[in-house]
Structure 1
Amino acid sequence: MARSVTEKNDLVSPLLALFCDHGVDGVTVAMVSQKTGLGKGSIYYFFPSGKSDMVEFVLLSAERFLNERLFLLTDNKFKGKKGIEEFLDSFLHDTVFLSFIHFMSSLALSHHRVQYLDKLNLFYKDLTTKLAKVISKEGYSNSKAWNISENVVVSIYGSYLFSCSLADQSYFHNRIKKLNKILLENLKST
């Protein structure tokens, strides 16, 4: 039986879960209907163009989430090494952030990637740029801070995806802890 959803934002979590579990190419309207309890008419009410609108919606949600999350990194409360440590530690507990990383990775591997390259790049670049900005405050040139930040972001993505392929969440947790330790030990003292 179909149920009533009053907020489109209620659909972010189920769509995100479906895209993470089945990849962008593997999700069907029937699967969305089953996961959300919505009838097909309601789904097309929210997403008139079907899956492409769903992907756009989740991408916009990912961007909003990323901006909110990155605010912690650039907020005045967390500065320097403490801010970087808090930011990296947040990956150990923030399953929504990891789901968005998973979604972005699955989108990058889908045949839809070409039409979303700008958004995929933006998600990656925003994360790298904001982390680089904090690292540069530790006395590094902008280019050196960018290189460090890019290595951290690639490590986060790679460790998470490898952890998923191993079906071993502890691998990801251990890698983030090691990454945090290496980064903090190697950053200049403030």
Structure 2
Amino acid sequence: MPKDTYIPCLLQLFRQYGYDGATLARISEATGLGKASLYHHFPKGKDEMVQAVMDYLEQWLTENVLPSLQGKGTALEKLHRMCDRLSELYEAGQQPCISATLLLGSARDLFHDRVQARYCAWITAVAQVLVDAGLDRTTAQQRGEDMVIALQGSLIVSQGLNNPKVFQRSLQQLPQQLCRDLDA
């Protein structure tokens, strides 16, 4: 099978265990591939596996989340569409964010630049929606950052409390919070 077949499984493993905890033994067991087969598909080992997962997520965000912020509709409608797609990605708050797990432990230095670039692109896209709706650029940028804070924080709290409703509530409130003071 092509290596792309294993990406969803790897995503789940790295979400659940982080970089350090997703051992080759766990990966082998979850994928059904022996270590030799893993290295056949991913010659650079776990680093390449994580890079493949990040490529997959970046493509998903580029194809699903960022387009939801473009096109027709008010800023509020666009942000609601974005939140709907994020709910899908995080299974309504039942799945943790892989970015958070990759920024912990030994993986931080390995993947920080990619996580940072993804956050920056996302913040910029949200800020542009808010600027187009009439908000000044500085405030729009800060609200884009607030969006990431709210989402990441609610995902962490949802995981900590084992209660995905925290994330769901945050997603429901987020568009109105970002659009406050706007005729969006």
Shared fold per TM-score greater than 0.5: yes
| Cross-structure match for 1:3 | none
CA gap of 1:98–1:138, structure 2 versus 1, over 3 A, is same
Tell me which amino acid in the other structure corresponds to 2:112: L
TM-score (normalised: structure 1): 0.87
Quote the residue 2:123 is aligned against.
128
| C-alpha distance in structure 1 between counterparts of 2:149 and 2:159, whole Å | 15
Output the amino acid matched with 2:156: L
Q: Deviations over 1:128-157 (max 9, x none)?
A: 111111111110111111011111111111
**Quick one: distance in 2 between partners of 1:34 and 1:11?**
12
Partner residue in 2 for 1:140:
135
Q: CA deviation at 1:98?
A: 6.6
Percentage of pairs with the same residue? 27
1:102 aligned partner, one-letter code: C
Match of 2:19 among 7, 17, 24: 24
Does the alignment pair 1:76 with 2:61?
A: no
Q: CA deviation at 1:97?
A: 9.6
Conservation of the 8 A alpha-carbon contact between 1:133 and 1:145 = yes
Whether 1:90 aligns to 2:85 is yes
Aligned mate of 1:41, from 19, 36, 50: 36
The residue that corresponds to 1:188 in the other structure is 182
Secondary structure of the residue aligned to 1:112 is helix
> Residues of 2 paired with 1:10 and 1:100: CA distance?
20
Deviates more, 1:46-55 or 1:69-78: 69-78
RMSD of the alignment, in Å?
2.1
Deviating 4+ runs (over 6 angstroms): 96-101
Aligned counterpart in structure 2 of residue 111 of structure 1, from 89, 92, 106: 106
Q: Counterparts of 1:46 and 1:98 in 2: how far apart (Å)?
A: 31
| 1:52–1:114 CA distance, 2 compared to 1 (3 A) | same
List runs of 5+ in structure 2 lacking aligned partners: none
Q: TM-score, normalised by structure 2?
A: 0.90
Count of aligned residue pairs for this structure pair:
184
The answer on whether the counterparts of 1:73 and 1:87 sit within 8 Å (CA) in structure 2 is yes
